[in-house]
Every structure is written in structure tokens, then in C-alpha cells.
Homo-oligomer: A and B are copies of this chain.
Amino acid sequence: MEQSRPLDALNKARNKRVIIELKNGKQLIGSLNAFDIHINVVLTDAEERQDGEVKRKLGVVFLRGDTIILISPSE
């Protein structure tokens, strides 16, 4: 049985809603449109949230990988 690699988890999350936490403490939620080996990410229908509330709508957003702490499929 082949062992899974971290990017496999991102592949499974393609076109699904994900939560992304950034090193500056911000939290973005959006549809995972694209990513690469640097973990540069593009979200669509993205919004920034704070304490569960939408702070602003961003639409399409490109995130530079080195600003990302974690990516998690949202419930």
C-alpha cells in the first residue's frame, strides 16, 4: 500500500471549502481552486472571518505559500 503525501490531502480538497489560517492571525475561507508545491494557493468565493463573522468578501484571492500556517476542509 502506497503511503499518502501531504499534497494528496490538498488534492482531495480541490473545489471544496477550506479554512486557511495565516501567520498574521487572519482566517480566510473559500473554495480551493489551485495550489502548488510552495503552497501558494488560490481561493475563489473567499472571505475573511473573525470570531466566526464575515469581516470582508475577497472573491478570488492568491495567497503566497509562506504566509500560510494551515489549510483545513471546512465543515
Contacts and interface: CB of A to CB of B under 8 A. Distances in A.
Interface of A: 3-10, 13-14, 22-25, 33-36, 39-42, 46, 58-73, 75
Contact of A40 (B39, B41, B72): B39
B64 A24 contact: no
Q: How many copies does the complex hold?
A: 7
Nearest to A19: B58
Given A34-B5, A39-B40, A42-B6, A72 B65 contact: no
Contacts of A70: 58, 61-64, 67
Contacts of A6: 34-36, 40-42, 62
Contacts of A14: 3
